[in-house]
Amino acid sequence: MAEFDNATALVDAATKARLAGYRKMDAYSPIPIEELNEALDLRRTRLPLLVLLGGIFGGLGGFGLEYWVSVMAYPMNIGDRPLNSWPQFIPVMFETTVLGAALTAFVGMWALNKLPQPYHPVFNVDAFARASTDRFFLVIETTDPRFERHATWKFLEGLHPVGVSEVAP
């Protein structure tokens, strides 16, 4: 794990590490850095598709509920309008669409991120406490095929970090 004191150095280091052939790595920062997605070659998330599906499910579910209640379970003649008076079902259908999409966005994001996760090895490094304030970290994992204890250490030191440390599992 290498520690940097500014965002530019981290993006720089991540790019260099990827060019050096490292693949299993992650970067940690106190703010979202868009450039890291490219530097770490992150794939685009599936979340938008899931949210779309959640919204569609919510909308159809809302309409299905209204249809079932108003036509089948509890039919009521209001001013001789058709039982399936769908224009009056739109507001609730809209709200359930929104609810379905929002719940999917919320639950989906945490689930894909595998959070909540109370324990993670990076927290074992004392310096990491500043990752949520003003320090930036690049971690190369031991499972990386190019990982080799000394070479990787040397490589990280060559990136001009503030410090390099080993993460206890």
Partner 1 sequence: MDKSRASVALSEETRALLSRTPAVIEPGHTFESVTETIGHVVLSKRTPIGWFLGFFVAFILLMVLNVTIGNLLMKGIGIWGNNVPVGWAFDIINFVWWIGIGHAGTLISAILLLFRQQWRTSINRFAEAMTLFAVACAAMFPLLHTGRPWLAIYWLFPYPSSMGLWPQFRSPLIWDVFAVSTYGTVSALFWFTGLVPDMATLRDRAKSRFAQRFYGMLALGWRGSAKHWQRYETAYLLLAGISTPLVLSVHSVVSFDFAVSVLPGWHATIFPPYFVAGAIYSGFAMVMTLAIPLRKFYHLEDFITMRHIHNMTKVMLVTGMIVAYGYANEAFFAWYSSNPYEQYMMYNRMTGPYAVFYWSLIAINAVMIQLFWFRSVRDNIPLLFILSLLVNVGMWLERFIIIVTSLHRDFLPSSWDMYAPTGWDFSMFAGTIGLFLALFFLFIRFLPAIAIFEMRTIVPEAKLKAEHHG
As beta bridge partners, residue 148 has: none
Quick check: 165 and 125 in contact, CB under 8 A?
A: yes
- By CB under 8 A, name the one of 24, 64, 127, 134 that touches partner 1: 134
106 binds partner 1 (CB under 8 A): yes
162 binds partner 1 (CB under 8 A): no
26 binds partner 1 (CB under 8 A): yes
Number of Cα atoms under 13 Å in the Cβ half of residue 32 = 2
Closest CA to 159 of 5, 17, 6, 7: 17
The rounded distance, in Å, linking the Cα atoms of 138 and 1 is 6
142 binds partner 1 (CB under 8 A): no
The rounded distance, in Å, linking the Cα atoms of 45 and 109 is 9
Residues that bind partner 1 (CB under 8 A): 6-8, 11-12, 14, 26-33, 35-37, 40, 42, 45, 47-48, 51, 55, 65-66, 69-70, 73-74, 76, 78, 81, 85, 88-89, 91-92, 94-96, 98-99, 101-103, 105-106, 108-110, 112-113, 115-120, 122-123, 128-134
